Amino acid sequence: MATAAALPVSTEPDFYHTKTKYKGILGWIFTTDHKRIGILYLVTMMVFFLTAATLGVLMRLEMLTSGKTIVEAQTYNTFFTLHGIMMIFLFIIPGLPAVFGNFLMPIMIGAKDVFFPRLNLLSWWLFLFGGLFALVSVFLPGGAVDTGWTFYVPYSVRTNTNVIPALSAAFILGFSSILTGLNFVTTIHRMRAPGMTWFRMPLFTWSLYSTAWIQILATPIIGITLLLIAIERWFGVGIFDPTLGGDPVLYQHLFWIYSHPAVYIMILPGLGVVSEILPVFARRTIFGYKFIAFSSLAIAFVGSLVWAHHMFTVGMSNTGMFVFSFLTFLVSIPSAIKVFNWIATLYKASIEIEPPLLFILSFIIQFCIGGFTGLILGTLAINIHVQDTYFVVGHFHYVMFGGTGFGLFAALHYWYPKMFGKMYKRKPAMVSWFLTTVGFNLLYFPMFVLGYEGMPRRYFDYLQEFQTLHQIATVGSWILYAGIIVMVVNLIVSLFRGPKAVANPWGGETLEWKVPSPPPLENFDEIPVVTTGPYDYSKYEKAAQEAK
Amino acid sequence: MSSHAAEAVAHGHTHRDDVGSKMGMWLFLFTELILFGGMFIVYAVYRYMHQAEFHLAASELDRLVGTVNTIVLLTSSLTVAMSITAMQEGKKSLAMLLVGITIVLALAFLVNKYFEWDHKFAVGLYPGSPELSNKPQGVILYFGLYYVMTGLHALHVIIGMAVLAVMMGFMKTGTIHQGSYVRLEAGALYWHLVDIIWIFLFPLFYLLH
Amino acid sequence: MAQHDQSSAHHETPHSVSYTQYLLIWLGLVMLTGLTVALAGVDLGRWIIVTALAIASIKTMMVLEVFMHLKFEDKTFRLFVLVACVTLAIFFILTFFDYAFA
């Protein structure tokens, strides 16, 4: 995005060294600077992620052999419940928007901060509080919740474990999500720099905008649903209790009315990151900008229409099932449009192999596998056989982890120099990419076969015939975990030992690369005036043409 | 796009963006709409499944009290809306009086509700009561929904009262004044949503038969 | 919102709704309330729910447009309200695809 005149070099200190009202750690906990808030989210989120990932490794250890391996069945139930709750509510849903959306989006649109900076801080406090609440509930009398992250009735009403603390934590986290969404929509509508029309915004911002709307409109449904379980446990009102006339399937409808759009909250920003990173390392304008922008909105919309595909085996009406299966197929179309545009961007481009691009390439392939298996699951006749099996587990890990998770790794490696003012070591980054990609696929691909062959999910025991594939998966989990450790160590060590980063190490054309690394407190000395679209690589393309 | 505000920012001074502030409040109201919307979906499904029993159960409700409460809330919306006009005209005392009346009307609503619930408890129509558990399932569901939905609504009435009380405080200290009253507008918007929810609750619970 | 607290001199004069306009809307709302109560006594069979919801919707529109100033705000706000209402409507309709055809 070229500006009319080059932006002046800032004489301000970077935002880490700004004089704040409070000193030390309090200067962070009481900050209203969107960049500090992004970093706060990153740090807290990494702690939750590593905890949940460790639970995952423990689960895979348990599944190394049939029957008990390291824990009892009840403990295993609490493991997968907590793993799900933490990964979903504390990592993937906040994930990209809370860390990178907060840090980058205002800079990308040429603003000094978000519209409601104090609300932004409140979002993080709620996030921290909700997360701690969830962790503490594990140790309260009654024990960790064992219902699965889906809290299905009637079990969630009858179990003696700490359901209500877990529900409360999820409710608080939902509030955090809503406030972030509200903040982002207002910011994007009201604070774009002069000349930054909607169609000159970076595609990451489009994805954040679409995501924010889902956060606002879908999250309240889970709020009321979880509240109803709590009310049911306290007062026995009967709303979901079959003995009093309630319908447990209605609970599932309400639960998935949020939780399906929630997966689009998870994936949309990841798709946005791909669209953001590809042009830079392809040295090429993104192919089909408007299609990609509109497809984000389309996914947000259509994704809100498909929830009951999680319920094909519970006894819904045939009409309902046909409608939802059809709509599920529809939502793949805007996703596919994105993939086609990405490939077109890469075709005959001048590709630079750097860690961000590698993670993006893994994302694209893994997302496609996840997407295709989603279509398989959306097919009614097949769903009967693979619902509640490992096929589902494989599918959602491919999209949520192979997709968004890797998108997050990519974003980390792309924006790291901007956020921290340092550059990480390239080789360990490449190694971590290799290990995570290999480990990920070794861990999750066998699950499609396991599920197809009948291995149920959330089972701690299994038939001998499934053993080999489980063991392959477990080995995959070790390689994946090793890759994550290498990544984390590389990124943390480079904070202290890495070389200083320049303002624009990758040659990006969006506004965040026009400010220093790290940026000063108010991002810009003067709000820029925008005159072209993002990803303007015409000079590179011209040079490439002339070189022929 | 607010080129107006953005240009002001580009020229070096920050411009207050009341439209943006209101936008934030509207977006928050949508979350409340959907929160109650979820409950209305539950209501709709169960009413569809138990039409006759819902009609039967509704006869236990006092239509007069419900109607009075509806008028009370509609009037409270009137007064809080008028308070904004008063503030726009710089009439601080009138604005404060109108918001004060709004809060009093809200309190009246809650008092009515308290007596309604109290009466029902007295005749044994509360969740988990022996009388209720002998009733048909549709009746049990009706009362479950009644208590949850009017209870959740009453909670929002209380929150609204607190918000309006804070606005009174702001008006007293001058934080809200003729040149800057977007906070009052935001508070009023919240109050109107509380009113709208009741506009739907009233016929669905009280006017079934 | 700290950066927005310094107001600069130029504001467009905001639209002020007169007390009379508000009173008229209130009167309309009270009358519609009366109507919906009166109709409850009439045996409309299955149409009672449609009528009740229709009247409630009209009342809501009046509150939205005048009390909540939607009529006088940026057009974007109306679009937002539409999006929110359509979303809720979709949740209702699709849920009933299950229950109405069971």
pLDDT at A492: 96
**Chain centroid to CA A541:** 33
Residue A8 included in any domain: no
Residue C101 to residue A113, Cβ atoms within 8 A: no
Q: With a cut of 80, say whether residue B7 has pLDDT above it.
A: no
What is the mean predicted confidence (pLDDT) over A370-391?
96
Beta bridge partners of A500: A422
pLDDT at A9: 56
- At B209, the pLDDT band (50, 70, 90 cuts) reads low
Report the C-alpha gap between C6 and C10 in whole angstroms: 12
Q: With a cut of 80, say whether residue B149 has pLDDT above it.
A: yes
CB atoms within 10 A of CB A520: 18
Quick one: closest CA in B to C13, which residue? B88
The 10s digit of each residue's pLDDT in A237-263 is 989 988 888 999 999 999 999 999 999
Helices (H), B89-181: 92-122, 130-133, 137-173
Burial B66-79 (b: 16+ CB within 10 A, else e): bbebbbbbbbbbbb
CB atoms within 10 A of CB A81: 23
pLDDT at B10: 45
Q: Which of A499, A493, A490 is nearest to A421 (CA)?
A: A499
Q: Does A89 touch chain C (CB under 8 A)?
A: no
Q: With a cut of 90, say whether residue A452 has pLDDT above it.
A: yes
Q: Which one of C1, C2, C101 has the shortest CB-CB distance to A317?
A: C101
- At B208, the pLDDT band (50, 70, 90 cuts) reads confident
The 10s digit of each residue's pLDDT in A59-110 is 999 999 998 999 999 999 999 999 999 999 999 999 999 999 999 999 999 9
Which residues in B lie closer than 8 A to residue A193 (C-beta atoms)?
6, 10
Beta bridge partners of A389: A456
Q: Which of A257, A251, A253 is nearest to A227 (CA)?
A: A251
- The angle at the Cα of A76, spanning A73 to A81, to the nearest 5 degrees, equals 130
pLDDT at B179: 92
- Are A484 and A53 in contact by the 8 Å Cβ rule? The answer is yes
pLDDT at C102: 74
The 10s digit of each residue's pLDDT in A322-339 is 999 999 999 999 999 999
pLDDT at C5: 37
pLDDT at B166: 97
Q: Which chains touch C (3 or more CB pairs under 8 A)?
A: A, B
A55, two tokens = 């639970």
Cα–Cα distance list, A420 to A205, A501, A507, A518, B139 (Å): 21, 8, 17, 6, 61
Residue A360 included in any domain: yes
- Are B55 and B88 in contact by the 8 Å Cβ rule? The answer is no
| Shortest CA gap A297–chain C (Å) | 12
- At A19, the pLDDT band (50, 70, 90 cuts) reads confident
CB atoms within 10 A of CB C55: 19
What is the mean predicted confidence (pLDDT) over B2-14?
46
Q: Which one of C23, C25, C68 has the shortest CB-CB distance to B189?
A: C68
What is the mean predicted confidence (pLDDT) over A342-368?
95
Q: Which one of B20, B179, B203 has the shortest CB-CB distance to C36?
A: B203
Cα–Cα distance list, A500 to A22, A424, A425, A446, A523 (Å): 27, 9, 12, 42, 19
Query: Which CATH number do you get for residue A509?
Result: 1.20.210.10
- At C42, the pLDDT band (50, 70, 90 cuts) reads confident
How many independent structural domains does chain A possess? 1
| Interface probe with A: pick from B15, B19, B27, most Cβ of A within 10 Å | B27
Quick one: closest CA in B to A217, which residue? B31
Q: Which one of A218, A231, A239 has the shortest CB-CB distance to B141?
A: A239
ipTM summary value: 0.93
Report the C-alpha gap between A532 and A457 in whole angstroms: 51
Q: With a cut of 70, say whether residue B25 has pLDDT above it.
A: yes
Q: Which helix (H) or strand (E) holds A216?
A: helix A203-235
What is the domain partition of chain C in residue ranges? 18-68, 70-102
pLDDT at A220: 97
Report the C-alpha gap between A259 and A513 in whole angstroms: 35
Residue A516 exposed, middle or buried by CB count within 10 Å (0-12, 13-18, 19+): buried
3-state secondary structure of A422: strand
- At C1, the pLDDT band (50, 70, 90 cuts) reads very low
The 10s digit of each residue's pLDDT in B59-98 is 989 999 999 999 999 999 999 999 999 999 999 999 999 9
Q: With a cut of 90, say whether residue A278 has pLDDT above it.
A: yes
- At A8, the pLDDT band (50, 70, 90 cuts) reads very low
Helices (H), A63-151: 73-85, 95-96, 102-108, 117-139
Residue B31 to residue A216, Cβ atoms within 8 A: yes
Q: Which of B68, B63, B56, B142 is nearest to B105 (CA)?
A: B68
What is the mean predicted confidence (pLDDT) over A529-537?
88
Residue C40 to residue B49, Cβ atoms within 8 A: no
Q: Does A317 touch chain C (CB under 8 A)?
A: yes
Residue B199 to residue C60, Cβ atoms within 8 A: yes
The 10s digit of each residue's pLDDT in A298-325 is 999 999 999 999 999 999 999 999 999 9
What is the mean predicted confidence (pLDDT) over C38-52?
86
3-state secondary structure of A346: helix
Architecture of domain B18-206: Up-down Bundle (1.20)
Q: With a cut of 50, say whether residue A523 has pLDDT above it.
A: yes
- Please give the mean pLDDT across all residues of chain A: 93
| Shortest CA gap A29–chain B (Å) | 24
pLDDT at C13: 61
Write phi, then psi, for A134 (nearest 5 degrees). -60, -40
What is the mean predicted confidence (pLDDT) over B9-30?
81
3-state secondary structure of C74: coil
A398, two tokens = 């491919």
Residue type, B82: M
Which residues in B lie closer than 8 A to residue A220 (C-beta atoms)?
31-35, 37-38
Q: With a cut of 50, say whether residue B12 has pLDDT above it.
A: no
